[in-house]
Amino acid sequence: MFSSKLYILVVLIVTFSSPCYSQIDFGYDDQSTWPGICTTGHAQSPVDIDVNPSKANKHGFISSESSIKGDSFKIRNTGESVTVRLLEETATGLFPGEGLSSTKFCFDNAHFHWGSSSKNGSEHTIRGRSSALEVHFVHYNCEFDSLKSALDSGRQDAIAVAGILCDINPSSKPNKALSPIISQLQAGQLKTPSGDFTTVDKPLDLLPLVPKRSFVYTYQGSLTTPTCNEQVTWFVFSSTKSCKVSESDLKALRSIKNSKGHQVRTNHRDLQSLNDREIQTLKLHSQY
């Protein structure tokens, strides 16, 4: 028979194991209460990226195999963000084993981080500058069969996340690539958190958000939500040229509610110390 302590432990293991899907109630107001390694770790994310891009010592490209699209998509309000999934066959992700990384990573989900005002919102900052939105393309090492088993392996190369920073479009035009997602939010379909994904029978292609030319900053870090596992290789794109958003796009994202019924006005984690980590710079060339 389960003792109540053991039961709690089992629940914690189950709920703590999935980034940006977690069922743990955590808020952004008091991040010092986040569990475990979130507050004790030394390789946490996000960080301020304060490096000189002219020191780029490596070259990368977006492979022609890269694809983040589908004829339909699945979407969910996790209570902390909006998460999107696509069919595996049509969404190979950004790391097919060449270009950005020689390790093959499988695409799992895209989700978003924003702020209460468009002056901030991105998790990573570049030389102290915030963007209005940060899109995360989460991938797991294809040696594993899922994001969960990649994390459970404990390996440092379990996860790769591409972070795309988006600024406000001066012409206030909504973002075309994001519009199938934003229109779901504007229709009020995802107001309350749900454990289940809703299928939307509309095509979605998120690759246009990814800059074709950019510096890409790469470093070893963590998930930016509890349990903050230090198993993530980050690829943060310096260029915001491909991703411009409008205030109405941001308003739609901020309209989702958490499990307490409060609006998620902000969901970006505070900056973490770089400590002794090194950030490398890739110079990205277009190949798609």
Residue 265, number of CB atoms within 10 A of its CB: 14
- With CA atoms as reference, report the closest residue to 169 among 160, 180, 178: 178
Q: What is the CA radius of gyration of the chain?
A: 18
CB of 170: closest distance to Zn ion in angstroms?
26
Q: What is the DSSP string of 131-144?
A: -SEEEEEEEEETTS
Residue nearest to Zn ion (CB): 136
- Residues 82-121 vs Zn ion: string with x where CB under 5 A? ----------------------------------------
Using the minimum distance from each CB to Zn ion, give the nearer residue, 136 or 244: 136
Using the minimum distance from each CB to Zn ion, give the nearer residue, 61 or 112: 112
CB of 270: closest distance to Zn ion in angstroms?
14
Give the β-pairing of 280-285 and 58-61.
parallel
| CA–CA distance, 17 with 181 (Å, rounded to integer) | 26
Using the minimum distance from each CB to Zn ion, give the nearer residue, 61 or 252: 252
Residue 231, number of CB atoms within 10 A of its CB: 23
Using the minimum distance from each CB to Zn ion, give the nearer residue, 111 or 244: 111
CB of 62: closest distance to Zn ion in angstroms?
20
Using the minimum distance from each CB to Zn ion, give the nearer residue, 21 or 73: 21
Contacts with Zn ion in 196-225 (CB under 5 A)?
none
- With CA atoms as reference, report the closest residue to 29 among 192, 225, 266: 266
- Residues 128-147 vs Zn ion: string with x where CB under 5 A? --------x-----------
Using the minimum distance from each CB to Zn ion, give the nearer residue, 136 or 139: 136
CB of 55: closest distance to Zn ion in angstroms?
27
Residue 180's alpha-carbon distances to 53, 156, 184, 252, in angstroms, are 34, 34, 7, 12
CB of 124: closest distance to Zn ion in angstroms?
10
Size of the site for Zn ion (CB under 5 A): 1
CB of 5: closest distance to Zn ion in angstroms?
32
Using the minimum distance from each CB to Zn ion, give the nearer residue, 61 or 250: 250
30 contact partners, CB below 8 Å, separation of at least 6 = none
CB of 111: closest distance to Zn ion in angstroms?
5
- With CA atoms as reference, report the closest residue to 198 among 60, 110, 74: 74
H-type alpha helices, 29-84: 37-40
Tell me the torsion sign for CA atoms 14, 224, 108, 183: positive
CB of 171: closest distance to Zn ion in angstroms?
27
Three-state DSSP at 179 gives: helix
Using the minimum distance from each CB to Zn ion, give the nearer residue, 61 or 245: 245
Is residue 124 close enough to count as binding Zn ion by CB under 5 A? no
Three-state DSSP at 6 gives: helix
Interface residues with Zn ion (CB under 5 A)?
136
